[in-house]
A = this chain, B = another copy of it.
């Protein structure tokens, strides 16, 4: 996979993956950008024992020079976007208004230091990954070859960001649809390199450790085996991957994809597993698009092991879910979910799996 890195006018890195453009250096960033500043703090919520990022510098966004109409389209003679080249396959660049990335000198302490109300600069990095130079494309209608370039970019970024000082976990994800808050329709995702292990991953690691201590087994392996045994929620089962609606799905339509061979992260996947993932994932996304009268808004989330700790027992997997429960009806995170973390789901996982299978 060809990879070419350039530097944007304000100092941010931009990386082209794939064959286009053939001569990236011929397309410098011609915008008069001023380097941004990131003042994010990671503050510890002592009661929930988790970090929250306070990113108040992002409130200044409107004072920056206006962007082109779609900042993710290729640049043209008259429109200078985030991407200087006139065409590209897949592009990754540092977010211009990142949540993470304050100058940080040390990784965050976890468990916390002695004091309450503790904070640190929120280091790490936020990147944008653009899946296609076609503004009207979506991940679901990429070709396999194009999706394979995205997979290669996810792997590359996971390796590289894991090596940055202070980064504890790399998260590749996509928010699709205005219902999720995605303001740009150009097909793209994001990659966060967190300076801490995320709360959800921390909880999974605790469950996995407890299960190891109690049974000697691996919780991920045993949950996937139990799902395969019950079989009623399996949506797809390939040579390298299984996709199922989880037994205790939190969302109306939710699918988890696990490789048969447990590995901690994307870089550890075999070439064959990466290739089959693309096929199964594209098929799944197309089914999601057919669930309702219009394509479903969704969140697609790669769960990877932290950079340090828990790697022997973690299972890389993808969680794909929509917040839409019926045409025109959303699942809101209201008082029970947002207040107490207590989820209720009106669509039974077995029914959801049956519908997804039937949409073939």
Residues of A within 8 A of B (CB): 40, 43-56, 58-59, 99, 116-117, 119, 171, 173-175, 180-182, 190, 192, 194, 198-201, 203-204, 206-208, 210-211, 219-220, 222-223, 226-227, 230, 246-250, 299-301, 319, 330, 332-336, 338-349, 351
Q: Are A175 and B220 in contact (CB-based, < 8 A)?
A: no
Q: How far is the CA of A344 from the CA of B247 in the complex (A)?
A: 29
Q: How far is the CA of A206 from the CA of B175 in the complex (A)?
A: 32
> Given A48-B207, A335-B173: A340 and B220 within 8 A (CB)?
no
Q: How far is the CA of A247 from the CA of B48 in the complex (A)?
A: 12
> Given A49-B207, A199-B341, A341-B198: A336 and B171 within 8 A (CB)?
yes
> Given A45-B248, A349-B54: A181 and B334 within 8 A (CB)?
yes
Q: Collect the chain B residues with CB atoms within 8 Å of residue A58's CB.
A: 346
Q: Are B301 and A173 in contact (CB-based, < 8 A)?
A: no
Among residues of B, the one whose C-beta sits closest to the C-beta of A48 is: B203
Q: Collect the chain B residues with CB atoms within 8 Å of residue A344's CB.
A: 40, 52-55, 99
Q: From B53, B200, B343, give the contact of A52 (CB < 8 A).
A: B343
Q: Are B49 and A340 in contact (CB-based, < 8 A)?
A: no
Q: From B180, B190, B335, B351, give the contact of A301 (CB < 8 A).
A: B335
Q: Collect the chain B residues with CB atoms within 8 Å of residue A117's CB.
A: 223, 226-227, 230, 247
Q: Collect the chain B residues with CB atoms within 8 Å of residue A334's CB.
A: 175, 180-182, 299
Q: How far is the CA of A26 from the CA of B249 in the complex (A)?
A: 46
Q: Collect the chain B residues with CB atoms within 8 Å of residue A343's CB.
A: 50, 52-53
Number of identical monomers bound together in the oligomeric complex = 2
The 7 closest A-B pairs by CB, nearest first: A181-B332, A301-B339, A199-B341, A198-B340, A173-B335, A43-B248, A45-B248
Q: Collect the chain B residues with CB atoms within 8 Å of residue A53's CB.
A: 342-345
Q: Are B340 and A207 in contact (CB-based, < 8 A)?
A: no
Q: How far is the CA of A341 from the CA of B192 in the complex (A)?
A: 13
* Distance in Å: Cβ of A131 to nearest Cβ of chain B: 15
Q: Are B301 and A55 in contact (CB-based, < 8 A)?
A: no
Q: Are A299 and B338 in contact (CB-based, < 8 A)?
A: yes
Q: From B48, B203, B301, B348, give the contact of A56 (CB < 8 A).
A: B348
Q: From B116, B198, B246, give the contact of A45 (CB < 8 A).
A: B246
> Given A181-B330, A223-B116, A247-B117: A204 and B339 within 8 A (CB)?
no
Q: Are A336 and B203 in contact (CB-based, < 8 A)?
A: no
Q: Are A319 and B339 in contact (CB-based, < 8 A)?
A: yes
Q: Are B340 and A55 in contact (CB-based, < 8 A)?
A: no
Q: Are B345 and A203 in contact (CB-based, < 8 A)?
A: no
Among residues of B, the one whose C-beta sits closest to the C-beta of A41 is: B348
Q: How far is the CA of A46 from the CA of B223 in the complex (A)?
A: 8
Q: Are A206 and B49 in contact (CB-based, < 8 A)?
A: yes
Most interface-central of A199, A249, A335 (chain B CB within 10 A): A335
Q: How far is the CA of A338 from the CA of B40 in the complex (A)?
A: 20
Q: Are A249 and B339 in contact (CB-based, < 8 A)?
A: no
